[in-house]
Amino acid sequence: MPSRPVKSVPISRWQIVAAIALLAAISVWALLRAHGETPSSQFALKGTLVTPTEIIEDGTILVVGEKIKAVGKEIQIPTGVKVIETGAFIYPGLIDLHDHITWNFLPRWTPGQKFSNRYEWQQLPEYLPALSSPHGQVVPSPSPPGKRTSKQEELACDANRYGEVKAIAGGATSVVDSLGIDKDNPCIEGMARNLNSYSGLYPSGTEERLRNEVFPLEIRTDDVIKINDALAHHQLALVVHLAEGKRNDASSAREFRMLRARGFLQEGLSIIHGVALRGPDFDEMKTAGVGLIWSPRSNVELYGETTDVRTANDFQIMIALAPDWSPTGSDGMLEELNYAAAWNAAQSPRVFTDAELVNMVTLNPAKLARLQDKIGSLKPDHFADLLVVHSKEKDGYRALLHSRPVDIGLVIIGGSPVYGDAELMQQLAAPDRLEPLMLCSTTKFIDFETEKVPEGKQQRKSWKATVEALTEELKPWHLSPSDLIPCPP
């Protein structure tokens, strides 16, 4: 198992480093203003584009407002539009269809044993003080709006915010399972897209079309009917946790038959985990048009093995890759992609090509979420969710597989720069909006401008205050918030 990431440097040190970087950013900003230039809603990025169905060297992507206007080798750039030479690879933002965002402020959990299925470790006494109890303190359940005190609401938002920043620092622009049932809670609006709660991909007031179910076999009968009708009319994408355990675990395998009995086995459904699934199950999934969401690291850590993706791939099942959660999975999408690439390299013969692995974090999850006309590709009229990565690799697919979160130069969501290096962020966002993050002795900057300010608040909470609040709540368990990204050895 990978070693524990190195903790962030002391505050007194990173504050000095961050202040120097921020002053440099403000100086550049002032220089740009003196020449009549400021960041705008139109800009162009130059670099190696990975669309991901093709690689375009020395390509350009033009962003106008929230969307991509043009993509190609030689495109017309309107007069006055800022052109930024990234010297990097540019990808669609990574799409995370399997995560538990509000749990990801918690540190890594190593139970020291393997389990037959997910029900076993959830009943383990050690699970309570390590994860369940501290999470329940910060994000109490049940949690419909109005059922928490104001302090509890703020803490829940802190956990959600921490998880979203962690996801973004790992390359994701879209996630699932944030404060999902609190749909009226403003802290889920902005920053990363919450695909099952508030994606920002549809007109205001439109209901989201992705539903995430952790325990799908507990859905009430009347709701089952509604879900099946929505699936049949191609109005819903349903992702469900199923068959999570060892491959020979009978109870996990039986869940597939129970899911079929509820009528869910139809196009629009994607099964998360599926470790206990076998050839005949994949055959049924292929016939029905059902997808698979693979989380190998968490599977191996908890059960000692992962899904039979070779057989799934042989049956041409569409597969997406996702980290599960950071306590036993990966800290984010890019780290999970690193893990999957290493796992794949150890197989003989290899199961996936490099291009297929990149598709599993971009185009494939977009298709499984029925959002391929909006995100997941670098195409005109798609939302400008972009990931810029620095790498010495020559091949665009290999570059993403072997890049680390520290290599991320820029994350753009809906045309808005939200995270990245000072060099790129200062060209697109006002420096007075940027907050420094000291990660692995490297300063990154984050802009919370897209995050909605909660009702009754005059301004957004600082990142420092968010971390301090979570740190205080974890003290009774002698825990500290997890690192945002894994640091290189």
- Torsion angle (degrees, nearest 10) of CA 258, 261, 263, 265: 50
Q: Which residues, in sequence order, are CB contacts of 16 under 8 Å at separation 6+?
A: none
Q: CB-based burial of residue 35 (10 Å sphere; 0-12 exposed, 13-18 middle, 19+ buried)?
A: exposed
Q: Given this model, what pLDDT does residue 184 score?
A: 57
List the chain residues with pLDDT less than 50.
1-12, 14, 17-18, 21-22, 24-39, 143
Taking a C-beta distance cutoff of 8 angstroms, is the pair 103, 136 a contact?
Answer: no
**Helix residue ranges per DSSP H, 35-149:** 118-122, 127, 133-138
CA dihedral 363, 162, 155, 473 (to 10 degrees): 140
Locate 116 and state its tokens: 């037959």
The predicted structure's pLDDT at residue 26: 43
Q: What are the backbone angles phi and psi of residue 13, rounded to the nearest 5°?
A: -80, -50
Distance CA 352, CA 341 (A): 9
For the chain, which domains are there? 11-92+376-452 (2.30.40.10), 101-368 (3.20.20.140)
Q: Copy the structure tokens of residue 23.
A: 């002053």
The first and second tokens of residue 136, run together, are 């329940």
Contacts of 171 (CB under 8 A, 6+ apart): 93, 94, 332, 333, 334, 361, 387, 389, 405, 408, 411
Distance CA 381, CA 232 (A): 27
Q: What global pTM score does this model have?
A: 0.90
What local confidence, expressed as pLDDT, does residue 180 receive?
59
Round to the nearest angstrom and report the end-to-end CA distance of the chain.
Answer: 13
What is the per-residue pLDDT for 148? 72
The secondary element (H helix, E strand) that includes residue 237 is strand 237-242
* E strand map for 19-125: 42-50, 55-64, 67-72, 82-92, 94-95
Report DSSP letters for 165-183, one per residue: HHHHHTTEEEE--SSTT-T
Residue type present at position 227: I
Q: Which two tokens stand for residue 354?
A: 């490099």
In angstroms, what CA-CA distances link 395 with 40, 56, 76, 354, 356? 32, 11, 26, 10, 14
Please state, in angstroms and rounded to a whole number, the distance separating the CA atoms of residues 474 and 477: 6
Here the tokens at position 27 are 């100086």
Q: Is 348 exposed, middle or buried (0-12, 13-18, 19+ CB in 10 A)?
A: exposed
Q: Is 111 exposed, middle or buried (0-12, 13-18, 19+ CB in 10 A)?
A: middle
